[in-house]
Amino acid sequence: MAGFLGTKEVLTKDRVKEIFRNKEYTYIEEKVNLLEVQNDSFLLKLSFLLEHKGQMISIEEKEPIVIAFKDFKVEDWGDGVRKVADIE
């Protein structure tokens, strides 16, 4: 639709992937929510909020992701100033 500000881009999933891949956004917010800890796994939900040409685009996981705790690097940062040691 043409108007005072010009035509507004019609977005498709493929176009949003292209915007994301080519970093054509002016703002990005990345969010990871820890939903639950099950046995030796984390249940996570990822979401992104992008701004592209004045339009906000939300990208969110349909289903939570399960990641094993063993896949994470764990470090001891003591008082928070510098890393003290790796935790095995």
- pLDDT tens for each residue of 3-58: 566 677 889 999 999 999 999 999 999 999 999 999 999 999 999 999 999 999 99
Identify whether 2 is part of a domain: no
Identify whether 34 is part of a domain: yes
pTM of the model: 0.74
> What is the model's pLDDT at position 18?
95
Is the distance from CB of 15 to CB of 61 less than 8 angstroms? no
Number of domains into which the chain is organized: 1
φ/ψ of residue 55, rounded to 5: -110, 130
Q: Which residue has better confidence, 79 or 64? A: 64
> What is the model's pLDDT at position 55?
92
Identify whether 45 is part of a domain: yes
Identify whether 8 is part of a domain: no
Asked if residue 1 has pLDDT above 60, the reply is no
**Domain with 60 in it:** 13-86
